[in-house]
Structure 1
């Protein structure tokens, strides 16, 4: 009996300026395999890419870190939680691994982290896989706009954010907009909630929620970066995302008219329901652009 090849994945911590960043890395069959950096979203961590790593990890080098405040990464007391600081930590992580060129997968929070990195190091970016990672105002639902508009001084604002950090809120992000909720494994939201309930984690998420407005302030810069550098781009998008709806996917085509766009009848965590559709698209994309 012949069994399929199984991806070998290592799990490590690496110190970046006092932050112990946890990451997963596949071990491909050849040392010169294309590199795909996987930048996770909220409220998740690198574990959201486990199945994708299993499927593609023998052919490509997939690397997925946890940001400070997420997953297994350990940040010191006093760490300032902002998107600039998440990008700083991820930049240091990339430098510690001596990565000089990679395709970047940006999902949700991965987009503001990733586009900050792209601005700082355009030479690193061999291409983009964009999955419900927003960079356009039309990609924000009315609910997302209201949430981003919350300010620390507004009465009840922090409680509104903390309501999203509960188990029903976390589960809802996985199931909302899906075509078949029975295809969504409960492990993802259960593990996310475990990490959210660790000491200090919810306060970190409150700080990031209040800082999200800084991403909107940079949308024009990120769009200009896309027009200038025109990276090869694959867009795979859950059309029923309650936060980042379909217009956010189509907006990329203004600045990247040659981008490849695929829409799926699912929600925010598109890989959960459509891994079998998305993984081959990523593989084909990497094979086409990696030289």
Structure 2
């Protein structure tokens, strides 16, 4: 019986402007030091652990790097400015840290996987450094107005001076709120490992971890304001693009996936009957698409 080769995965920290950024990195024995590089940018309220199965599946052929943002997972969570600290939790600042992370590792070319929060972080990096991007894989990472559900629009409209606005955000940071994000839209719940939402909630419940999420939620409108800029970047640069999308996502519905074809007509689009965390249920179907795409994007870079 043939045994599949699994990668070794290193778990490391990199200092970025005084912040210890945790990351996972596969060591691709098959491909060696010249292996294509795939940068995985995670979503809310998760961290790099959401990519563990994906890294095992492809990490022996590619150098796969998955960092945790500040305030997420195993990375430092500096005290936010809203609580008297010095770190402002906004999407520009997350992108600043990830920019420093990429430079710190000496990466100058990669295929980026943008999921959820990974889209606003990744598109900020793309507009700053288009030369870094050999291709884009977008998985339920929105960049279009039509990709926002009514519930998402209501959430994004929350402002700190509105009554009960912060409490509405904090209600999403509970175990029931986290589990809802994983389970909604999933066809076969038995394929959904409970470890994902359990780990997410573990980190959310650590001291000082909820206020950064509140601050980021109040800043999410800054992403919508930049959709036009990101769409213009896509039109100008026409990066090789693969869109894989859980079509029953309660936050980012199917029209947001189709919208990418408007600006990148040659993009590949694959829809799956699942929810927001599409890899949880549809990993076997999505992995071959990723591998084929990375091979072609890297050979053309």
TM-score, length-normalised on structure 2? 0.96
Deviations 1:113-166, CA, capped at 9 Å, x for gaps: 000000000000000000000000000000000000000000000000000000
Q: Given the alignment of the two structures, is residue 24 of structure 1 paired with residue 24 of structure 2, yes or no?
A: yes
Secondary structure of the corresponding residue to residue 50 of structure 2: helix
Distance in 2 of aligned mates of 1:252 and 1:89: 26
Q: Given the alignment of the two structures, is residue 209 of structure 1 paired with residue 211 of structure 2, yes or no?
A: no
What is aligned with 2:291?
283
Q: Cα offset for 1:3? A: 2.6
CA RMSD of aligned residues (A): 0.7
Partner residue of 1:267 out of 268, 271, 275: 275
What is aligned with 1:37?
39
What is aligned with 2:3?
3
Distance in 2 of aligned mates of 1:278 and 1:28: 20
* Aligned residue pairs, count: 291
Q: Cα offset for 1:76? A: 2.9
Distance in 2 of aligned mates of 1:144 and 1:120: 27
What is aligned with 1:152?
160
Matches within 5 A, 1:62-211: 62-77=64-79, 78=85, 79-211=87-219
Asked if structure 1 preserves the Cα contact closer than 8 Å seen for 2:185 and 2:249, the reply is yes
Q: Given the alignment of the two structures, is residue 256 of structure 1 paired with residue 259 of structure 2, yes or no?
A: no
Q: Cα offset for 1:2? A: 4.7
Distance in 2 of aligned mates of 1:237 and 1:82: 25
Secondary structure of the corresponding residue to residue 71 of structure 2: coil
What is aligned with 2:82?
none
**Range that drifts further, 68-77 or 259-268:** 68-77
Deviations 1:63-98, CA, capped at 9 Å, x for gaps: 000001100001333211000000000000000000
Which stretches in structure 1 are left out of the alignment for 5+ residues?
none
Which stretches in structure 2 are left out of the alignment for 5+ residues?
80-84
Distance in 2 of aligned mates of 1:214 and 1:261: 26
Distance in 1 of aligned mates of 2:205 and 2:271: 33
Distance in 2 of aligned mates of 1:76 and 1:244: 29
